[in-house]
Amino acid sequence: MMQRTLVLLKPDAVERALVGRILARFEAKGLRLAGLKLIQVTPALAERHYAAHRGKPFYAGLIRFITSGPVVAVCLEGRKAIESVRRITGSTDAAEAAAGSIRGDFSSSNRFNLVHASDSPESAAQELANFFAPGELVDTSRESLRWLYDLSEGDPL
């Protein structure tokens, strides 16, 4: 199924100059960019984004970290995009992340773990709305999909 998902390249990814290397992994998998922007997350946006964690012991640290520097907000589109992105990203705890995943290869921390990835279609829709205004996302051209998926028997998505 064709999906869209949000990925945030957190301040540690930006400051460590890993943005291009991380985006290249998603593109190599066949995921398409539908939105991309460099932003400074405000406390209000951070609170909306992490609302599900409000009241948890690590909440204040999440807010401090995501607002500590620039973030690259990315909308990726593709077949089973949410599942694919989460597999490429790896386990939240870098010590448990598989080699070959972004966190397994580039991170050594639980909190400084480089990326955020939506975990469900519902959270992806909400998170994309938080980070991208109407009209900021573009549609993948049907022509480009023929290089990613077998379209000989109709829509594989």
d(CA 10, CA 110): 13
Whole-number average pLDDT of the chain: 92
Query: pTM, whole model, 2 decimals?
Result: 0.90
Catalytic residues: 116
Inter-helix orientation angle 81-89/19-29, to 10°? 130
Q: Does domain 2-134 correspond to CATH entry 3.30.70.141?
A: yes
38-51: pLDDT as tens digits: 999 999 999 999 99
Q: Domain boundaries in the chain?
A: 2-134
- Backbone torsions φ then ψ of 79, nearest 5 degrees: -70, 125
Q: What is the mean pLDDT of the segment spanning 117-127? A: 97
